Structure 1
Amino acid sequence: MHKKLLNLILLLSFGIFSCENKETITETTPIELSFDLVDSLDLTILGDPIMASVNNTGTLVSFYDFPSSETIITNTQGDVQNQFSKKEDTPDAYGFKLELPILWGEDRVILIGLKGIFIYDLAGNLIKKIDHAETMGSAGSMSFPGLTAKIISIEGKEHLLTKSFRSRDTYPGEQKFYDTYKAVELVNLETGEMQDFGSFEPESKFLDGMGYVQSDYAPAYDVSSGKLYLSHGSDPRLYIYDFSAKEAKLDTAIHLDIPDFYEVEGLPRSEFSPGSVTINGGTAAIRNIIVQSGRILVHYYPGIDPKIMEEAMGLWNAGQEEEGEALYSKAQAKAKPGIMVFDEKDYSYLGTLDFPAGINKEGFMADKESLYFQRTPDPEVEEDFLRVYKMKLTEK
């Protein structure tokens, strides 16, 4: 099966057993913004690597190679500094991968798996293991370039902010799941203490009585200057919280007016069962939030018309693979991701940017000052390298 169709159409099931809320409507008052190329790096390696993270100072970049399950760490010139794999059944192996590798400072990398949160040095030697808040039962993950957990600073201490993987003794077929759900987990990297945040707010579509799969509500998030910025997957809202290590208090909700954004519709809850996790990579979603240099960047994917997705899947299941893939590819070409930009001070809308030409539009990453995009390989040439472009968002 074609890799793209497999990743983005196929439904994957895993059984790896306040002050007053203010809603702001965006208005089109764009300014002229552009991505300017600063530098690039080439990773020359056989395999299928994906750009994972960059440290805050922009001196190291991590990649994850799926065929070898290797974490690869390079400098800004693309020179490999270290690479290691932890797929063996050893005490320092993180197990089934839940997040791409996260660089922490100049000398550590964090891998999150079913077995816990593992902190290694750059050579892969285990420094520390932090257990999950709950024993893990079932889990699934999607991997897009640059989309992984984040290292943030709160009250002068570095923390890990990641998706929350708690089951809370429930599943998406029960009302309890939606009543107790929290989107993100804040991990004190020094003490291992954890606190989860990000309930579904009262107006959330995920409280409509229907059932939803993991990719429908997968969170996008960032933290800056005492604020938590959070979106829940296919719900086109940006929630902004006053944030501390103990509390998230809702300040503002921004409705994101995204053209042709195919919000998912729920399923009957009777179709869900405990221990099953379903992911659909073609679902419309807010995929990432990055706050940088006084701007809030909201990366969205508008999704593919669910009727076309269903038709393409039907063709594939009926043995008409080429027809199904052609239909899907045509629909995918119309689904154009973008990046909405807001002012960090007053949340005013500054404009929407297309991804630069020739760029993988599934994701990007950032350090304190720059953005990093993974180049799309030339389909006409067999290449043995992966190129990453370092860019800055500038106002003209």
Structure 2
Amino acid sequence: MTRQNYLLLFVIITFFSCQGTETEDASESINLELEVTDSVRVPYVGVLSFMDIRSEWDRALFFDMQKRSFVSTDLQGNILGQFSKDRDSPDGFGSFPMAAGRFLDQNRIQLVSMYGVFEYDLEGNLLRSAKTPKDEIKGFSGRMDAIREIFPVGDRLLLTGLLPRTEYNKTQPEFYDTFKQLVWVDPQSGSMEQFLHLDSASIFQNNRSHEPTTLTATFDVRDDELFVISGGDPFLNVYELKAPYKKLKRIPLELTDFQVNPGENPQKADPRAISFDPSYGMISKLTIVGDYLLINYTTGYEDLDREEYQSIQSQEQWQDFNARVGEKYKPRLQVLSLEGEKLLDIEMPDRLGNVFVSRDESLWFNVLPNPDVEEDFFQINKVEIKKSRD
């Protein structure tokens, strides 16, 4: 690993402590800072997606989308193993995993797909599999990076489980009434159990048609509580982690310029189409790091830019428009307390991507390539949230 020790951001925001002690002034200002404290650089020609990192095992995991191969390294950037699996190979897991692969130890990688739970060594030899019973197999969407992760909870695994199509389609109220956001997976049997309906107050319960991708849940677990945000619905929902998953809180999020998608007239929507409209806001990742919640989101566009986006007719128009709005509407990060109080809201710092994980009370982000220089490596940065007093 490369030690960097430079300040990524100077003072971002100041908030006031409301719980002073005898040795601290209650009005003393506290500064939150994001600081890059370490990095891992992997010599590699190609584009990698970040999946997992485990400092205790000296391991990091990536995925090459073009080659459809998993790449494991140590934390000095040395490649230790690579493998890919054909969709129909006897030891394969299907077309794609439901979430990023994760390390079980130094030499074992776990993947979960709609077909079950699979364990491989670093060279791709199948060590164990627990295949989902055929009558339980469903067409869950997948993800090749750590925007979605596998969460071990007790003797089960917890994942996001987006089904873009069910017996109902997006133009029917029943699609939203029966929609379940998360999945319990038994790693011994491969059995999968969907659970957690949309909140009754969700924007998705407004009798309009919504793109299924905007319902994608992001979540994290702390002790016996489940923290969930449902894609384009700007609320933090907190539940008990055990059935019947009693709702404890529903907290409105104070997101900067967040454009809520009201949905489409069901009579005009194409029930077969699945798309995504970037002109509306989307919350892609929620994670807990130490005593903080971290949210990554896009804001969507102002009305005039949305109208222009929806009128684009050519690839050239799209390229020009995308170059302009890419500078105007940058992804954002928000830091909250575990009670949902906003502490920090900033544009995503330069070169940090939107794929990150929380490990040992620190964050690891993918680093975006330099657009002006051809690079032959892929890098992830360790970022810490630090608190200081004036």
**TM-score, normalised with respect to structure 1:** 0.81
- 3-state SS in 2 of match to 1:82: strand
Tell me how large the CA RMSD over aligned residues is: 2.7
- 3-state SS in 1 of match to 2:168: coil
Question: Is residue 2:355 matched to residue 1:342?
Answer: no
Q: Which residue identity is paired with 1:43? A: V
Distance of 2:303 and 2:318 partners within structure 1: 14
Aligned twin of 1:377:
369
Aligned twin of 2:204:
206
Aligned twin of 2:251:
254
Distance of 1:29 and 1:163 partners within structure 2: 39
The structure-2 alpha-carbon separation of the partners of 1:232 and 1:168, relative to structure 1 and needing over 3 Å to count, comes to same
- 3-state SS in 1 of match to 2:300: coil
CA displacement 1:194-216 (0-9 Å, x = unmatched): 33233111111101101111221
The runs of 5 or more residues in structure 1 that have no matched partner are: 1-27
Aligned twin of 1:79:
78
Distance of 1:339 and 1:323 partners within structure 2: 29
Distance of 1:82 and 1:49 partners within structure 2: 14
Question: Is residue 2:352 matched to residue 1:356?
Answer: no
Deviation at 1:98, TM superposition (A): 4.6
The structure-2 alpha-carbon separation of the partners of 1:206 and 1:136, relative to structure 1 and needing over 3 Å to count, comes to same
Aligned twin of 1:326:
320
Q: Is the 8 A contact 2:94 2:113 kept in 1?
A: yes
The structure-2 alpha-carbon separation of the partners of 1:198 and 1:83, relative to structure 1 and needing over 3 Å to count, comes to same
User: How do residues 82-231 of structure 1 correspond to structure 2 at under 5 angstroms?
Assistant: 82-106=81-105, 107-126=107-126, 127-131=128-132, 134-137=136-139, 140-141=141-142, 146-154=146-154, 157=155, 159-165=157-163, 168-231=166-229
The structure-2 alpha-carbon separation of the partners of 1:56 and 1:313, relative to structure 1 and needing over 3 Å to count, comes to farther
Aligned twin of 2:286:
289
CA displacement 1:299-332 (0-9 Å, x = unmatched): 22212347535534644x3x4x344322222222
Distance of 2:117 and 2:384 partners within structure 1: 32
CA displacement 1:160-191 (0-9 Å, x = unmatched): 42334485532222222111111111223234
**TM-score, normalised with respect to structure 2:** 0.82
- 3-state SS in 2 of match to 1:278: coil
The structure-2 alpha-carbon separation of the partners of 1:35 and 1:335, relative to structure 1 and needing over 3 Å to count, comes to same
Q: Which residue identity is paired with 1:204? A: S
- 3-state SS in 1 of match to 2:41: strand
Q: Is the 8 A contact 2:367 2:378 kept in 1?
A: yes
- Structure showing greater Rg: 2
Deviation at 1:381, TM superposition (A): 1.3
The structure-2 alpha-carbon separation of the partners of 1:286 and 1:352, relative to structure 1 and needing over 3 Å to count, comes to same
My pick for the range that moved more, 111-120 or 364-373, is 111-120
The runs of 5 or more residues in structure 2 that have no matched partner are: 1-14, 18-29
The structure-2 alpha-carbon separation of the partners of 1:36 and 1:108, relative to structure 1 and needing over 3 Å to count, comes to same
Distance of 1:64 and 1:100 partners within structure 2: 12
User: Taking every aligned residue pair, what percent have the same amino acid on both sides?
Assistant: 23
My pick for the range that moved more, 97-106 or 34-43, is 97-106
